[in-house]
Amino acid sequence: MNNIIANSSQYIGVADTVVSTLSGASKKRILVIDDDRSILDVVEEVLGYSGFEVESRLNCEGVFEQIKEFKPDLVLIDYLLSGINGGEFCHQIKTNPLTSHIPVIMMSGYPKVFFSLGNYNCDFFITKPFNLEDLLEKINICLSKGIQKSV
């Protein structure tokens, strides 16, 4: 957590680049799922400043309905969540024909556990605490793939 907050000033230059890149296009939508409110708050602020439309959740209850309504371009999910393993939820997204096209970035403070169990077909994995520039870079890589939404 300290690394996230300590590095928050570092994202401004990257965020300005993202905003200028997105200025001619509609805002990309990102759904963030983490059961740690402080992480959600920081990530929401950074992504919002970077020109993204962001919705966040503390759990996965009803999330497929939210995906259907919000139509995210990317999902950022914590690996360890209350009630469900974030990896299992990633697998559900990636195996559902209506959502399999959505890039998923998983994050965790326990990378050894994550790597020992497989990657659940996620597009990227980020170790907590993470650098905000790295997060934005991985998001932009996923979004630049040009995957068409079918939701």
Domains annotated on the chain, with CATH? 2-143 (3.40.50.2300)
Q: Is the whole-model pTM more than 0.85? A: no
pLDDT tens per residue across span 47-90: 999 999 999 999 888 889 999 999 999 999 998 888 778 888 99
Cβ 43 vs Cβ 32: under 8 Å: yes
Tens place of pLDDT for every residue, the chain, 151 residues?
A: 444 444 444 444 444 444 444 444 689 999 999 999 999 999 999 999 999 999 999 988 888 999 999 999 999 999 888 877 888 899 999 999 999 999 999 998 887 766 666 778 899 999 888 999 999 999 999 999 754 443 3
